[in-house]
């Protein structure tokens, strides 16, 4: 009988210390981390449940004709080094950032078809998109970029296939204050 009562006492101590009820009041936050072990079977079940749930389509894929615009473009603004990175184009919305000197600024804007007459460029084969990109406006030198991203494909007339592309960006930037502006030239 003594052995049985000792065993019951030992088991109750183990149960209490390894997972018994927490004696802290429910409205007081616990300072201990949850260290509940999750098995690989539990992870598999969670992943299967997530796969079965319908996913919301929050982002659209960038149109194929805009793909060349994505990425890093380097060049100049008012004879100073400028980098513009286009991170995404979703529908007509453009997101990226620019770095002028040591100043990195976010950019948001719109993409549209070229609004100029460019028939003479690239023997009439130039494909150009206009991007209006705005800096946030919380810095005294923030402004707007008006950029034309061009693709001048070189064709093989015998096979009517594209051999290469000549990408370029040109346009302008103007500070919201109107005190500063400049021409922009970029290449990939």
Per the domain annotation, does 79 fall within a domain? yes
| SS3 label, residue 35 | coil
Comparing C-alpha atoms, which of 179, 102, 171, 92 is closest to residue 143?
A: 179
| SS3 label, residue 103 | strand
Per the domain annotation, does 53 fall within a domain? no
Where would I find the H helices in the chain? 2-19, 40-52
Answer whether 106's CB lies under 8 Å from 94's CB. Answer: no
CATH number, domain of 178, equals 2.40.128
pLDDT tens, N- to C-terminus, the chain (188 residues): 454 444 444 444 444 444 444 444 444 444 444 444 545 455 455 445 444 444 444 456 888 889 999 999 999 998 889 999 999 999 999 999 999 988 999 999 999 988 665 555 565 667 789 999 999 999 999 999 999 998 888 878 888 888 888 888 999 999 999 999 999 999 98
Per the domain annotation, does 171 fall within a domain? yes
Residue 24: phi, psi to the nearest 5?
A: -70, 145
Per the domain annotation, does 100 fall within a domain? yes
pLDDT, residue 176, reads 97
Which residues span the domain enclosing 180? Answer: 64-187
pTM score above 0.75 = no
Per the domain annotation, does 109 fall within a domain? yes
pLDDT, residue 46, reads 47
Per the domain annotation, does 33 fall within a domain? no
pLDDT, residue 24, reads 45
DSSP H/E element including 37: none
Per the domain annotation, does 140 fall within a domain? yes
Answer whether 69's CB lies under 8 Å from 87's CB. Answer: no
Domain count along the chain: 1
């Amino acid at each position: 009988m003594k052995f049985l009562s000792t065993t019951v006492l030992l088991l109750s101590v183990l149960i209490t210390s390894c997972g018994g009820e927490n004696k802290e009041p429910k409205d007081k936050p616990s300072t201990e981390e949850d260290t509940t072990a999750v098995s690989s079977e539990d992870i598999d079940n969670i992943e299967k449940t997530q796969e079965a749930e319908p996913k919301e389509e929050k982002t659209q894929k960038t149109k194929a004709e805009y793909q060349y615009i994505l990425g890093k473009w380097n060049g100049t603004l008012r004879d100073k080094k400028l980098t513009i990175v286009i991170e995404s184009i979703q529908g007509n919305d453009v997101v990226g950032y620019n770095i002028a000197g040591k100043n990195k600024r976010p950019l948001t804007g719109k993409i549209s078809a070229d609004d100029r007459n460019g028939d003479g460029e690239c023997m009439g084969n130039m494909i150009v998109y206009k991007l209006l990109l705005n800096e946030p406006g919380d810095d005294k030198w923030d402004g707007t970029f008006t950029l034309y991203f061009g693709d001048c494909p070189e064709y093989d007339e015998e096979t009517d296939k594209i051999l290469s592309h000549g990408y370029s960006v040109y346009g302008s930037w103007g500070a919201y204050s109107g005190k500063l502006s400049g021409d922009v030239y970029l290449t990939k």
